[in-house]
């Protein structure tokens, strides 16, 4: 184990991003595709269109997720947040309740979990019965 990894493990043992199992997910990612379609993306059976997004994964085990979208009522930015863990290339994102302006939802954003995978320069995330969102590392 190299000294940088050992220091990371000693300073933040609860953060799995410091493991030797795979590349660290820590960083910022720009949304580039939804279900294989480049942005802007029109969500099926709605007037919701995704224009941009940024997923920021922090070393303290938290993340934020912002998506710029429009519908018949105008332009919006969703703001969601939560905690994450990583094992190798697999990432688990646990969204907390209380996010704002989520598309296709009324009131605060619902809690939920996404499973993501990290490949060279990209992060892809999905959950059951949901769209596949693909992000490029910034």
Local confidence pLDDT in tens for the 138 residues of the chain = 333 333 333 333 334 344 445 789 999 999 999 999 999 999 888 999 999 999 999 999 999 999 999 999 999 999 999 999 999 999 999 999 989 988 888 778 888 999 999 988 899 988 756 789 999 999
pTM for this prediction: 0.81
User: Domain ranges in the chain?
Assistant: 21-137
The beta strand positions in the chain, using DSSP E, are 27-34, 37-38, 41-42, 49-57, 62-71, 74-87, 90-95, 112-119, 122-126, 133-137
Question: Distance of alpha carbon 3 from its chain centroid, rounded?
Answer: 29
Six-digit token string for 23: 């590349």
Asked if the 21-137 domain carries CATH number 2.102.10.10, the reply is no
Six-digit token string for 56: 């920021």
């Amino acid at each position: 184990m190299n000294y940088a990894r050992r220091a990371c493990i000693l300073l933040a043992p609860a953060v799995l991003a410091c493991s030797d199992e795979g590349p660290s997910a820590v960083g910022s990612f720009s949304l580039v595709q939804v279900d294989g379609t480049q942005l802007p993306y029109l969500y099926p059976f709605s007037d919701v269109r995704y224009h941009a997004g940024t997923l920021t994964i922090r070393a303290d085990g938290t993340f934020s997720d912002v998506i710029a979208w429009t519908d018949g009522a105008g332009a919006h930015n969703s703001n969601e947040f939560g905690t994450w863990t990583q094992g190798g290339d697999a990432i688990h994102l646990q969204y907390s309740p209380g996010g704002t302006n989520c598309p296709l939802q009324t009131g605060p954003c619902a809690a939920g979990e996404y499973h993501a995978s990290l490949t060279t320069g990209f992060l892809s995330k999905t959950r059951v019965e949901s769209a596949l969102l693909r992000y490029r590392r910034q």
